Amino acid sequence: MAVGLTHYLVISTILFCLGLFGVLTRRNAVAILMGIELMLNAGNINLVAFNRYVAPGAVSGQVFALVVITLAACEAAVGLALVMAAYRGLETIHVDEINLMKW
């Protein structure tokens, strides 16, 4: 049985939902960012799989995946800078303890 498009889509769905579970249920802000990275990877797998199976003549899926990787790196950098600034000011990075708008 050859590996078809549906196999890749199923695996990427599972990865996406694992990432979603991580974002919804973790306390540490960095762990939430890790869940977001998993979701972005799942989206990338979808893009490249569709490129190869539905439109193999074009490279737009791979181009899109490269842009998503770049933007994920940017977003991780800014997000982690925010986490560090929050830790410096609020002494905690557990998101359920950051619940006051101002002291």
Partner 1 sequence: MGELAAFTILSALMLVPAVIVVTSRNIVRSALSLVPTFLGVTGFYIMLHAEYVAGIQVLIYAGAITVLILFVIMLTEGGSGTMVRQVTGQVPLGAMAAIWLAFLILVTLSRTTWPVARGELPSYSVQAIGTAFLTNYVLIFEVTSLVLLISLVGAIVIARREE
36 is a contact residue toward partner 1 (CB under 8 A): no
CA–CA gap between residue 68 and residue 47 (Å, rounded): 10
How many residues sit close enough to partner 1 to count as binding (CB under 8 A)? 77
Q: Which of 24, 44, 40, 46 is nearest to 95 (CA)?
A: 24
56 is a contact residue toward partner 1 (CB under 8 A): yes
> Which tokens sit at 72?
């994920």
Among 3, 100, 101, 103, binds partner 1 (CB under 8 A): 3
98 is a contact residue toward partner 1 (CB under 8 A): no
1 is a contact residue toward partner 1 (CB under 8 A): yes
39 is a contact residue toward partner 1 (CB under 8 A): no
Q: What are phi and psi of 99, to 5 degrees?
A: -130, 20
